[in-house]
Chains A and B, each alone.
Chain A
Amino acid sequence: MTCEEAEVLLHALIDGELDAGHAREVEAHVANCPRCAAQLAAFRDLQRSLRGEDLGFAAPASLRSRIERAMPQPAAIAPSRRAVLGSFALGGAASALAAASVAFVVLRQDHVQDHDRAILSEAMSAHLRSLQADHLTDVLSSDQHTVKPWFNGRLDVAPPVIDLTAQGFTLIGGRLDFIDGKPVAAIVYRRRVHIINLFVAQGLGAASGPRSDTVQGFNVRRWSDQGLNLLAISDLAPEELEEFQTKFEAASRANKTG
């Protein structure tokens, strides 16, 4: 590798854009070239400096409301909220009709199960996307007091964000994701080398007690808390995911009473 090539590629190296083979080539060149080594060190230093500062600009609240006002008005949004409530009401209606019409209930159950499978498979896709697309978090922080406010204004609900580092599940950050066409909070934890995505929203199914599922090798644990549905997905073993749920709920209760 020549210095001319290395001078450009070392930027790709510090940006994590090089495949392993090219990364090794650049590193080999740098190991034998003081001039390129000095540049690599200098640009790493520059990148660290830039990234260590918050160089973004927060959009003024007035701009946010100008944009909101320019869109069709919130009055028009009411029907879709009703539609969400409607689907809950339907679930109730289905069970009330259970005694009256077996055939109807079978259909209804199929429908509910289809919807349930759809949610599980979307949760799995969202989980996979988060692992592959280098978009695990929108807000990267192990501090629950940073992650929680980040969701303000981005969601209709305030998701519980709980640091479980002491319990063996490290909070990494949060992200906005979509499941079943609705925005959901994704709270990201790490257990050893395993990533857990915890999706929080209304209407993610599992209205009854906690339950476990498996989708294409991933384990899912679902439970509800005060009208919110929580869905944890990971390649962790089912027992560990249950442990996550137990500790999450315990810490959540402690937060509320404390």
Chain B
Amino acid sequence: MAYEGQSMDAAKVQRFRAAALPYLDDVYTLARYLLRNSSDAEDAAQECYLRAFRHFETFRGGAIKPWLLAILRNVCRAEFARRVALPVMEAEAEEASQAVWDGQDSPETETARRLDGETARRLIAQLPDQFRETIVLREINDLSYREIADVIGAPVGTVMSRLARARLLLRKAWFEEERGSS
């Protein structure tokens, strides 16, 4: 009985490790895309796991990945986003919201080449924050719309419109890239 407190702790550590650590790559990946730098991403991921462990009792089952990613996102915003100049972000977002489909109206004329991983990462990294996080959560972290909505604290409708915008911007950037390189 003397060990009860300790073994409860041990059980908690065990449960937390088993439940949360498998998603470290996901957490680190989102951190890399949000902060665009590996050492900040490592700090943020570590802080995320510390907070998650501290608040593990408040985790009420369900999928743990979105829960971790929501914590990570808060860490990134609170601890690291201060360095990002806000007016620039808003200008980027404003410009992005003006983007419209300017592709051909017939798919046959568009023979897009393969998008290699390095280029894809760079193009995603160039997206404005709100679109970047949405596309990363969807295509790389593989979250559903509902889960993304929970992570970013916005309605599903917002997720959908940001995703549409993010893909439009990515596709434009990809085509400009191709035009430039050919």
| A99 interface contact, C-beta 8 A | no
* B49 and A183 form a contact (CB under 8 A): no
Given contacts A59-B45, A63-B46, A134-B144, contact A11 B24 (CB under 8 A): no
**Cβ contact within 8 Å between A34 and B32:** no
Residue of A nearest to B136 (CB): A55
Report whether B24 and A67 are in contact in the complex, using a CB–CB cutoff of 8 Å. Answer: yes
Chain A residues contacting B121 (CB-CB under 8 Å) are 55
Known contacts A11-B164, A56-B140, A46 near B28 by CB under 8 Å: no
Least Cβ–Cβ distance between A164 and chain B, in angstroms: 25
CB distance from A169 to the nearest CB of B (A): 25
In the complex, residue of chain A having the shortest beta-carbon distance to the beta carbon of B5: A76
- B181 proximal to A (CB < 8 A): no
Interface residues on A, range: 35 or more
CA distance A67 to B52 in the complex (A): 11
CB neighbours of B164 from chain A (8 A): 7-8, 11
**Known: A72-B10, A80-B10, A181-B15. Is A38-B107 also a contact (CB below 8 A)?**
yes
Residues of A within 8 A of B10 (CB): 72, 76-80
Enumerate chain B residues within 8 angstroms of A57, measured Cβ to Cβ. 25, 28-29, 32, 38, 41
Interface residues of B (CB under 8 A from A): 3, 6-7, 9-11, 13-19, 21-22, 24-29, 32, 38, 41-42, 45-46, 49-50, 53, 63, 101, 103-107, 110, 112, 114-117, 120-121, 124, 138-140, 144-145, 160-161, 163-164, 167, 170-171, 174
The smallest C-beta distance from A7 to any residue of chain B, in angstroms, reads 6
Find out whether the CB atom of A8 lies under 8 angstroms from the CB atom of B160.
yes
Query: Which DSSP category, helix, strand, loop or mixed, fits chain A's interface?
Result: helix
Nearest A residue to B52, CB-CB: A67
CB distance from B4 to the nearest CB of A (A): 9
User: In the complex the two chains form, is A71's CB within 8 Å of B17's CB?
Assistant: yes
Instruction: Tell me whether A80 and B106 are in contact in the complex, defined as CB-CB below 8 angstroms, given that A35-B101, A53-B120, A59-B24 are known contacts.
Output: no
Minimum C-beta distance from B125 to chain A (A): 10
Q: Which residues of B contact A39 (CB under 8 A)?
A: 101, 103
List the 5 closest pairs (A to B, CB-CB), nearest first.
Answer: A41-B107, A183-B18, A53-B117, A49-B115, A59-B28
**Across the interface, do A66 and B139 meet the contact criterion of CB distance under 8 Å?**
no
Of the residues B13, B28, B105, contact of A72 by C-beta under 8 Å: B13
A56 with B26: in contact, given A70-B50, A77-B14 (CB under 8 Å)?
yes
The answer to whether the Cβ of A178 comes within 8 Å of any Cβ in the partner chain is yes
Q: Which of A47, A58, A72, A78 contacts B25 (CB 8 A)?
A: A58
A79 touches B3 (CB 8 A): yes
Instruction: Known A-B contacts: A77-B10, A176-B18. Give 12 more (CB < 8 A).
Output: A38-B107, A46-B167, A49-B112, A50-B140, A54-B117, A55-B121, A56-B140, A63-B46, A67-B50, A76-B6, A77-B14, A178-B19
